[in-house]
Copies of this chain bind each other. A is one copy, B any other.
Amino acid sequence: MNTFGKLYSFTSFGESHGVAIGGVIDGIPPRCSIDLDRVQLELDRRRPGQSSVTTQRSESDRLNILSGLYNGLTTGTPIGFVVQNSDYHSRDYSTLERLYRPSHADYTYQAKYGIRDPRGGGRSSARENIARVVAGAFARQVLECEGIKIYAYTSQVGNIRLHSDYTRYNPDLIDNNAVRCPHPEAAQLMIDLINNVKSKGDTVGGVVTCVIKGAPSGLGEPIYDKLQAMLASAMLSINAAKGFDYGMGFEGCSQLGSEMIDNFRPGPTTSSNHSGGIQGGISTGCQDIYFRVAFKPVATLLQPVDTIDIDGNPATLHMTGRHDPCVLPRAVPVVEAMACCVMLDALLQRRARQ
């Protein structure tokens, strides 16, 4: 189904090369002032064609709000929105009616539905992220009124990786470069790597790190909707995401308990934050929340690849056109958006019980 969230939710629609991408945001608290320019700015961060390390599709992605605001304030009613599709090159995809791109959704959509829209990947295209980014940008403005700030950055591309301690990096530097990495030298290495990979028609993966500051205690349900479970579900719903961990995550599982324990101190505060700001599924309120999302290298290679056609016969696929050699730079705003949606949903769920 195409709805995400429980009390703050959004429902999206749209195919890459259909008429439009859009959605409905539901459950936003009333009387919030929304700066639509800032929402558009988030869309622009996701937009293709920003730099040499992203696809050159020049989509304008202008947001149209159809409902839910009155004199610039939310009314508590749903926000309908639409972004028209334009500048798409259907000719790039003409052979895809007969061939399944390996490691894409072509084959599985066909298997699930017995039909698929082959134009630009149809519904499986990353253009669907537009709806996420809009919903996240609305949520962010509500969260900021509650003192909650969320940012993400590229912490790894290929084998170039930052230290796992996010406190070493200044979030103000993230948008200073094309890969959205707050360490300028590492950023340049990442850009060089991506350009090198791109020149060979290849692609490369990486990791996004996300930090949530100012979350109050008590967010998250203790058993099945643990805050980390909500975040994991959100992150693994992003195209190309392959993994999620929070706090010390996979790295911490080779450690001892005495190394990983976060002792409480008066405040309350803790001597360390290996837990990632969540204990027993619930935010502590006295620690930052942080997590990582792994993204695979994009499967759209500009090299000949072996595959099969819709009749099951062997075939060779020659992809052309404009594609991302690395999703990381444009994944950053999507990770932030999904984190914003989860946190607002958790905040509203907490209010219901207070």
Contact = CB atoms under 8 A, between A and B. Distances in A.
Nearest to A338: B224
B3 A262 contact: no
A218 B312 contact: no
A69 to B, nearest CB: 9
A205 B1 contact: no
A213 interface: no
A296 B349 contact: no
Nearest to A328: B253
Given A105-B280, A266-B313, A123 B203 contact: no
Of A230, A233, A259, most B-chain CB atoms within 10 Å:
A233
A12 B235 CA distance: 26
Interface in A204-253: 204-207, 217-218, 221-226, 228-237, 239, 241-250, 252-253
Interface stretch (A16-24, A39-47, A87-95): A16-24
Nearest to A354: B351
A281 B29 CA distance: 18
Given A108-B283, A226-B236, A349-B352, 17 more contacts: A1-B225, A2-B26, A3-B9, A4-B223, A13-B79, A30-B115, A111-B285, A124-B222, A156-B254, A158-B256, A206-B253, A207-B250, A239-B280, A242-B245, A258-B303, A263-B306, A265-B306
Contact of A244 (B115, B245, B276): B245
13 contacts: A1-B223, A19-B64, A27-B352, A102-B261, A107-B264, A113-B353, A225-B237, A229-B236, A236-B244, A257-B301, A260-B296, A260-B297, A349-B352
Given A223-B128, A297-B256, A31 B113 contact: yes
